[in-house]
Amino acid sequence: MEKPLSISVVIPAFNEEKYIESCLKSVKGQSYKPCEIIVCDGNSNDRTRQIAKKHATKVIIEKKRSAAAERQKAADMAKGEIIAFIDSDTVAEKDWLRKMAEEFKPGVVAVYGRVLMRDGSKVDNVLAALFTPYIRFTDLIGKPAVAGMNMAVRKDAFKRIKGFNLKLKTAEDIDLFNRIKRHGKIRYADAVTYTSARRLKHWGYKKFFFFHAANLIRYTLTGRSQQEYEDVR
């Protein structure tokens, strides 16, 4: 019988007192238990760290305010064979880690799943569901539309590529997968997380979809991404 993979879960956070407890409870309640949960806080000025300490294995601080820097600092401390990433305004289905782990066959270095809305309107939820076929299509053509709140990597491959590109403010998740795929296969898992719809509500559909589409095109063509990304809390 194969030994189960050890999985460290990394959660970046900044002023997330509203959401982080539900995120952590969803990770702790997984059917496939993580070996540790590491929260890296971007120097919050609310109760984020106090809440995180009740549930996480480790809570650390990264004063450089970016999701990439927070994920990187926590990942550098991870002891699991696999590092799974979820955001602090996001919750995971109970079998999230189990489904991710099942895809890590020999030669697979990274896995990603789909993201739905946890607090969106009916229209928001329909649009998110319609995005799933697109995600599957990007998997088939070898250009995965990965989201940082639902992805996992082998730690040894992550270290070989030196982790995230900390110069990127956005698209750091897509960039990570573009570089890690040189060291093995990437797989899509039907593993679901549910993220906050707050940016969609704050920006509106037009700005939200235009920004992300333009950002993806810019990164694909130039290897650079938008450096301005408004904090929405």
Contacts of 86 (CB under 8 A, 6+ apart): 9, 10, 11, 23, 27, 92, 96, 149, 150, 193
- What tokens were used for 79? 């002891």
Digitized pLDDT (tens) for each residue of the chain, 233 residues in all: 567 999 999 999 999 999 999 999 999 999 999 999 999 999 999 999 999 999 999 999 998 888 999 999 999 999 999 999 999 999 999 999 999 999 999 999 999 999 998 887 877 777 777 677 777 777 777 777 799 999 999 999 999 999 999 999 889 999 999 999 999 999 999 999 999 988 888 888 788 877 877 877 788 778 888 877 878 77
Q: Residue 128 corresponds to which amino acid? A: A
Q: For residue 71, what is the DSSP state?
A: H
Q: What is the pTM (predicted TM-score) of this model?
A: 0.93
Question: What is the predicted pLDDT for the residue at 81?
Answer: 98
Contacts of 222 (CB under 8 A, 6+ apart): none
User: For residue 195, what are the β-bridge partners?
Assistant: 90, 117
Question: What is the predicted pLDDT for the residue at 2?
Answer: 67
Contacts of 30 (CB under 8 A, 6+ apart): 92, 94, 95, 96, 97, 98
Residue 19 near residue 55, CB atoms below 8 Å: no
From CA 31, how far away is CA 13, in angstroms rounded? 24
Question: What is the predicted pLDDT for the residue at 226?
Answer: 80
From CA 73, how far away is CA 93, in angstroms rounded? 25
Residue 74 near residue 39, CB atoms below 8 Å: yes
Closest CA to 54 of 82, 21, 81, 30: 21
